[in-house]
Amino acid sequence: MALFDLRAEHQLDVMQPNQSLNGLFARLLTGVDAMLERVQPDCVLVHGDTTTAAAAALAAFHRRIRVGHVEAGLRSGDIHSPYPEEMNRRLVDSMSTWLFAPTPAARDAALNEGVSGRVWVTGNTVIDALVATVAKLDSDAALERSLAERYVWLDARRKLLLITGHRRENFGDGFRNICAALQDLAQRDDVQIVYPVHLNPNVRDVVQNALGGQANVHLIAPVDYIDFVWLMRRAYLILTDSGGVQEEAPSLGKPVLVLRDVTERPEAIAAGTVCLVGTSRERIVTEASRLLDDSAIYAGFCRSANPYGDGHACSRIVDALCERPFTQFHS
C-alpha cells in the first residue's frame, strides 16, 4: 500500500495461523459490520474474489448499503476451481449495484446469470497498478539500482523462471507435482528458478522440503509488489496459479504457464498469452521446455496483445459511479 501512498484507516486484525475459511469469514463479517456501523458509508467497493470481498459485500448488503464490485463477471464455470474464489465472485456479483467487468466476456457472463446490477466494461485495475509501477521503476534510477543490488545473485547468463503458487485446490498432490516438475527443470544448465514462497504452511512446507537446497532454485520470502514487477520484467517465463499474474505478465511481454486445470480468465488463452498446464509434472516440464527451446513459439506468446486493460480502469469506474459519460474498454 505504501507504494501507492495509501494508508489503512481501519484494521480488522482477523488473520490467524492455519485458519479455516468459515472462521475467517465469520470474523470478517463481524469486523466489517462494526466498521460500517461507525463509518456509515454511502456505498462499499470490493475487489476481486477473496473471502474478504465476499464477507464485506454481504455485510454491506445486510445493512442495505449499495455494493460496487471491481473485477466482476470472471467465471471458470466450476464452483470448485478456483476454490473458494469462484463462488465468492458469484456471490458478490449477485449483491452488487455496480459491476465493473474487465472484459466484454466477463460482462456477458454476469448478464447471463441475470444479475440485478448494472454492468460496465472497464478493463482491470491490476493493469493500472502495473502501469504506474513500471513508470515508477523507469523514472527512478536509484530505486532501480537498489532492486538490482537486492537481487545481485541473479545470473544474467541463465533464463529466469519466476514461480508463484498459493491456490487451495493445489494443496497436497498438486504442489508436490509442481515441485517435482521444478526439480526436473532445475537440471537444465540454462535456467535459474526464483520462487517467492507463500507463507501458508500447506505451500511453504511442501516447497521447502522438495526444493530447499536444490541447485539453480532460489526460494525467497514473499516480496513487495514493486519487487515482483521488477522480477517479472526480468523473467524469461512465469509459472503461476495466480489470477492477477495471468493479466500482468502479458503487459510485460512474458509468457505464462498457468498451474491450474481451469481459469476464470479465458481471454488470455484465446489471445495466446497464457497456456493452461494444470499440475501434471510431465505437462509442466513439456510446455516449459518448448518455450525455453523454441524461439518461434516463445515469440508468438510475447507478441500477443493483453485483453485485460489499458491502464485507465480506475478512471472509468469513477466515471460510472459519478454517472459521467463513459467509454467502455474493448479488449
Choice among 69, 71, 90, 316 that is catalytic: 71
- Diameter of the chain by CA atoms? 59
Reply yes or no on whether 294 is catalytic.
no
Buried-exposed string 285-316: b where 16+ CB fall within 10 A, e elsewhere: bebbeebbeeeeebeebeebebbbbbbbbbeb
Choice among 166, 260, 265, 316 that is catalytic: 166
- What are residue 83's phi and psi, to 5 degrees? -115, 130
Choice among 47, 69, 75, 85 that is catalytic: 85
Paired strand residues for 150? none
Q: Given the DSSP bridges, would you call strands 191-196 and 159-164 parallel, antiparallel or unpaired? A: parallel
In angstroms, the CA 252 to CA 261 distance is 24
Reply yes or no on whether 168 is catalytic.
yes
Per-residue pLDDT of the chain (331 residues; tens, 9 = 90+): 888 999 999 999 999 988 999 999 999 999 999 999 999 999 999 999 999 999 999 999 999 999 999 999 999 999 998 899 999 999 999 999 999 999 999 999 999 999 999 999 999 999 999 999 999 999 999 999 999 999 999 999 999 999 998 877 788 888 899 999 999 999 999 999 999 998 888 888 898 998 998 889 999 999 999 999 999 999 999 999 988 898 898 889 899 999 998 888 888 888 888 899 999 999 999 999 999 999 999 998 887 667 889 999 999 999 999 999 988 998 7
Whole-model pTM: value is 0.89
Go through the domains of the chain in sequence order and give each one's CATH number: 2-124+310-321 (3.40.50.2000), 129-303 (3.40.50.2000)
Reply yes or no on whether 198 is catalytic.
yes
Cell triple for residue 331? Answer: 479488449
Choice among 107, 167, 168, 265 that is catalytic: 168
User: Which tens digits make up the pLDDT trace of 110-135?
Assistant: 999 999 999 999 999 999 999 999 99
Choice among 158, 188, 198, 283 that is catalytic: 198
Reply yes or no on whether 85 is catalytic.
yes
- Residue 125 in contact with residue 70, Cβ under 8 Å? yes
Choice among 47, 49, 107, 167 that is catalytic: 49
User: Which tens digits make up the pLDDT trace of 198-215?
Assistant: 888 888 889 899 899 888
- Residue 104 in contact with residue 121, Cβ under 8 Å? yes
In angstroms, the CA 71 to CA 149 distance is 35
- Residue 103 in contact with residue 122, Cβ under 8 Å? no
Q: Which of 327, 314, 306 is nearest to 68 (CA)?
A: 314
